[in-house]
Structure 1
Amino acid sequence: MTSQNVNTLSREFEEISIKVPWGFLSGRWYGPRNVRPILALHGWQDNLGTFDTLIPLMPSYVGVLAIDHPGHGRSSHLPDGVMYHSISHFVYSIFLVMKEYNWDKVSIIGHSMSSLYGFLFAALYPEKVDMFIGIDLLKPRYRQPSTEIGIMQYKFDKFFVATERSREIAFKEPPSFTYEEMKEKLYQGSLESIDKDKLHHILDRNITKSEQYPDKYYFSRDDRVKFYVEFVATPEYSKEMARRIKAPFLSIKGGASEFFIEDHYDEVLEVLKTNNPNFETFILTEGTHHLHLNNADKICDVVNAFIEKHRPIEKEIVAKL
């Protein structure tokens, strides 16, 4: 089945809410509900809107469940005083979604931060992942210990400040800005990675209209996510994780993006190529870090061919019988 004849149906969606220990995860389920969907996970400080331009181009016979991570988009913030952690909250969210819908396996498409944690999840639980598409980041970051210690200290200091600030504004609004000012903040915050005509896809789920100033908005995602505890790994650690990944794995990279390109990046890539017969790579020369949002039309054929190969329509039809 070709991309042309699986993308003809509209990508209607249903808003969903998944109860979790600290509140709920907000999401959208696109397409059929009688087939296990692909779980779409966004990057750091973004939300499910990051997939707005790609999902309508994906095969219509299999659904897509896109969620907002904790503290992002419209999902619940963590309780006061709790620091976001890459494994305890972002990787844990995958388990919570699987439990909610009683899945024994999961198919993942993840961008940026979620590409890293999809990599980690597929290495920790190779028997639970049947397909993984990682966009622009391949593996966990590695820093020299002295650098990492300094960054952790910085994050803890900033987390304490952000926590106190959130308590101060608990009964009043955060600083607000015009919509155009918000767009510029997001554009600069993404290091100009998001095309200006695509900013609204992410911005609209990250802001709330001010009640004090009718023409202004404020960021409603949790400010503390800026200082989350990141999972880091030595080169040998990353290579060992790569050896454990058995699922079909498509790694997509933006040629104009330099996110997490380190000296041992090629070493991990080589381990995946050597140990996983279903590992594929694709580089979009002009792609920035948000190539899936900016250039969905230029990567959809690669994404769809991979999905059709590893989640073929014939298999999905049989699964429903």
Structure 2
Amino acid sequence: MINALKSVRLMSSSSVKQAVSELSVPVPWGEIRGRVWGPEHGSPVLCLHGWADNSGTFNTLLPLLPKDCRYVAMDLAGHGCSSHRPAGVLYSFPSYVMDVRRVVEALRWTKFSIIGHSMGDALYPEMVESLVLLDSFGFLPTQTKDIPRLVRQGLDEMIEYEKTMADKKTRVYTYEKAVERLLAGNKSLTAESAKILLERGLVPAEGGVMFSRDFRINLKNVVRIGLEQSLELLSRIQASVLVVLAEDGFERMFSETEEREFTSALLQAYRDRNHAVATVPGNHHVHLNNPENVAPLVSDFLQTKVFIPLQSGGDMRRQTQVKGCKNNHINLCFQLKYRLRSFYCY
């Protein structure tokens, strides 16, 4: 079902010194593109980038993770090298989930792990073996009273977009100005990280370059859920979960009391289910800017997601110190028992 796994080549980014293959999966309106790292029969890991980014967001992190995994990093529809959705179609979280289903169907994956940044999420818990959330809570609840207003705003924005874009020319930049534009809109990116994202975020144009992403992704999301629905979905997660928060990351955006209540409730729900929640120094793009802060946590988590039986008469326990984390280290204590594994983060 895969249209093409294009020939292996050396990535142009200086941040990654390993060969990857280019992925192309046909969809009804075009193709979903992405990149593939690791051995063909390695443990499957799907990597989902955040809003307005692309698969390049994992360029610096994946080379630091276990080599025996098969990492597939998608460009979600309307991002990177993937096709834009058809005219008149809104972007929404359920649509992105459908894109994921199409890709894993093409890959013939029935069980896999997910590494998600910002938007990464899953609605098919039986398919997900382990879940890593990079500066993400997995859900973005909306106050119930605000949903009608925000949905209406999103619909109105779409109508206005269709009126104005018909006669509006796409802006052309020099490469240097494109870098400046991306940095101005994404304060958490370094200049080097911006250039990595622009490897898949620009297309040639007469007189310069244009951004490849579909600007409809900037319109207000019209598919929203409240905290109650978010907690219900969270309770259905069957996978082991690692939440890696950045000290100056996503949580800083939620300054209102009600928003803080949402994030606190979600984090407590993860902890109540013995999932791991850790904090590392850095901002929302710490996994791209400073992957060395994130990689030890993610690597240990991926390497220990399978059951390991106890040796007779012994208590198998492994403790790892990760430098660079809050208070200079985080102790990750893995208590492994026969047919039962719990992951505790202190």
Q: What range is the shorter-chain TM-score in?
A: 0.7 to 0.9
What amino acid maps onto 1:177 in structure 2?
Answer: Y
> Offset of 1:139 from its aligned partner?
3.4
Q: Which of residues 56, 60, 64 in structure 2 aligns to 1:49?
A: 56
> Residues 259 and 252 from structure 1, CA distance in 2 versus in 1: closer, same or farther, beyond 3 angstroms?
farther
SS at match of 1:198: helix
Do 2:155 and 2:222's aligned partners in 1 also have CA atoms closer than 8 Å?
Answer: no
Q: Does 1:250 align with 2:249?
A: no
Q: 1:301 to 1:241 in 2, by over 3 A?
A: same
Q: CA-to-partner distance for each residue in 1:258-315, whole Å, 9 max, x for gaps?
A: 245621322222222222x3x1111113x111111111011111110001111599xx
One-letter code aligned to 1:242 = L
1:204 maps to amino acid: E
Tell me the equivalent position of 1:4. none
Once the two structures are TM-superposed, the CA of residue 198 in structure 1 deviates from its matched residue by 1.4
Letter in 2 for 1:74: C
Contact kept, 8 Å, 2:132 with 2:243, in 1: the verdict is: yes
Structure in which a larger fraction of residues adopt helix = 1
Identity of aligned residues (%): 32
| TM-score w.r.t. length of structure 2 | 0.77
- Contact 2:43–2:68 (CA under 8 A) maintained in structure 1: no
- State the distance in 1 between where 2:156 and 2:178 align: 26
Partner in structure 1 of residue 26 of structure 2: 19
Gapped runs of 5+ residues in structure 2?
1-15, 309-346
- Bigger RCO of structures 1 and 2 (CA < 8 A, at least 6 apart): 1
Contact in 2 for aligned 1:140/1:232 (Cα 8 Å): no
Distance 1:83 1:306, change over 3 A: same
Equivalent residue, structure 1, for 2:185 = 189
DSSP-derived class of the 1:292 partner = helix
1:270-281 alignment runs, 5 A limit = 270-275=268-273, 277=274, 279-281=275-277
- Partner of 1:66, secondary structure, is strand
8 Å contact from structure 1 (residues 13, 28) kept in 2: yes
In the alignment, what sits opposite 1:292? 287
Instruction: Tell me: CA distance 1:50–1:281, structure 2 relative to 1, closer, same or farther (3 Å).
Output: same
Deviates more, 1:142-151 or 1:89-98: 142-151
Q: Structure 1 residues 109 and 189, CA, compared in 2 at 3 Å: closer, same or farther? A: same
1:29 to 33, 36, 55: 36
Q: 2:104 aligns with which of 98, 121, 124?
A: 98
Structure 1 residues 20-39: Cα deviation after superposition (integer angstroms, max 9, x where no partner): 12211001111111234210
1:182-226, CA deviations, whole angstroms, 9 ceiling, x for partnerless residues?
A: 112111212x11112211111221111222x1xx21112111111
- Quick one: distance in 2 between partners of 1:140 and 1:49? 23
Shift of 1:15: 0.6
Cα separation, 1, equivalents of 2:220 and 2:304 = 36
What pairs with 1:38-187 in structure 2 (closer than 5 Å)? 38-87=45-94, 89-114=95-120, 118=121, 121=122, 124-168=123-167, 174-187=170-183
Contact 1:85 1:228 (8 Å CA) reproduced? no
Q: Highest Rg: 1 or 2? A: 2
Given residue 284 of structure 2, which amino acid in structure 1 is its aligned partner?
A: H
In structure 2, how many angstroms separate the alpha carbons of the residues matched to 1:189 and 1:82?
25
Aligned 8 A contact 2:25 2:31 in 1: yes
> 2:193 aligned with 1:198, yes or no?
yes
Please, what TM-score do these two structures have when normalized by structure 1? 0.83
Which SS does the other structure have where 1:37 is aligned? strand
**What code does the residue aligned with 2:118 have?**
S
- Asked if structure 2 preserves the Cα contact closer than 8 Å seen for 1:11 and 1:55, the reply is no
Structure 1: tracts of 5 or more residues without a match: 1-8, 314-321
Contact 1:198 1:294 in 2 (8 A): yes
What is the CA-CA distance between 1:231 and the residue it aligns to? 4.2
Q: Structure 1 or 2: larger strand share?
A: 2
Query: Residue 168 of structure 1: CA displacement?
Result: 3.3
Is the partner of 1:306 in helix, strand or coil? helix
Residue identity in the other structure for 2:45: I
**The 10-residue stretch of structure 1 (243-252 or 230-239) with the greater mean CA deviation from structure 2:** 230-239
CA shift for structure 1 position 176: 0.9
Partner of 2:248, secondary structure, is coil
Match of 2:304 among 287, 301, 309: 309
